[in-house]
Amino acid sequence: MSRGDPGRRRAHSSSGQSTRFTSAGLGVRVSLCPPILDSRDVPKIWPSVRRVVSFLIMLRSYFRFMERERCGKWMPRKKVACARRAGHSGDCHTPEAMERARAYGRARRATGRSVVPPEAQKRYARKHRLKAYGLTQERFDQMLAEQGNACAMCREPFREGQRIAVDHDHACCDTKLRSCGKCVRGLLCHLCNAALGHIEHKSEMARAYLGRAS
């Protein structure tokens, strides 16, 4: 065929070079783009694609979560409404507790390990001790107020930060906990609690000794 024949055309180039089409003696240049993605490149970029998709899914879930209403359930002990989202699982939390949880998460992500403030450690230890004696924080505070913030035995006022011993009847309970809570007799200082323990365990021995000595 001649050069000006409408049926003549050059072979398409896969390198992106221009190819000339002729029709009725008019020349039209069309730029053919190379393939955007080769099948051999798919395994290389697939991890990046997965990360982008995962991030978009997480972002959508986050915005959906933020659009949910607050729980708003009234917490009589804390005298504040719950700051968690509606339909949450577990216990309700105050705004202060939520902020502490966020600060803990930020500190843990920054250091890569668990970070527990000293105040939280003391609070957890105190809660564990009260649970071991079958008491709640409200009951403990009530007993402390009834005793006038003093030892029930020697009547010495408790100092700030002083360790308070929970006295209970050791013969009452046979459970995994130290006490069932019903046999708790009072709050004592460390010296009175130790002295009472010696008196209870060695009172018969002391009477026998005094009887022999007299």
**Per residue in 67-87, pLDDT tens?**
667 788 888 888 888 888 787
- Is the pLDDT score of 149 beyond 70? yes
- Is the pLDDT score of 63 beyond 50? yes
Q: How far apart are CA 191 and CA 185, in angstroms?
A: 16
- Is the pLDDT score of 34 beyond 90? no
- Is the pLDDT score of 213 beyond 50? yes
Question: Comparing 5 with 202, which gets the higher pLDDT?
Answer: 202
- pLDDT tens per residue, range 169-196: 877 776 555 777 778 888 999 999 888 8
With pLDDT > 70 as the criterion, what percentage of the chain qualifies?
74
pLDDT at 125: 76
pLDDT at 78: 81
Q: How far apart are CA 147 and CA 132, in angstroms?
A: 21
Can you read off the two tokens belonging to residue 140? 């403990």
What's the whole-number mean pLDDT along residues 82-97? Answer: 85
pLDDT at 12: 44
Match 């990360």 to its residue by tokens: 51
Q: How far apart are CA 140 and CA 46, in angstroms?
A: 60
pLDDT at 6: 47
Question: Residue 180: left (phi > 0), alpha (psi -120 to 50), or beta?
Answer: alpha
Catalogue the E-assigned strands of the chain: 18-23, 26-31, 74-75, 80-81, 165-168, 184-188
pLDDT at 157: 92
Can you read off the two tokens belonging to residue 168? 């209970």
Residue 107 pLDDT grade (very low, low, confident, very high; cuts 50, 70, 90): confident
pLDDT at 29: 52
Closest CA to 168 of 178, 155, 153, 157: 178
Domains of the chain: 70-115 (no CATH), 118-213 (3.40.1800.10)
- Is the pLDDT score of 116 beyond 80? no
- Kindly report the average pLDDT of the chain as a whole number: 76
What's the whole-number mean pLDDT along residues 28-44? Answer: 60
pLDDT at 151: 93
Residues whose CB falls within 8 Å of the CB of residue 83, separated by 6 or more in sequence, listed in order: 70, 71, 93, 94, 95, 97, 98
- Is the pLDDT score of 114 beyond 80? no
| Residues 89-126: b if buried by 16+ CB within 10 A, e if exposed | eeebbbeebeeeeeeeeeeeeeeeeeeeeeeeeeeeee
Torsion angle, alpha carbons of 132, 138, 143, 149, to 10: 110
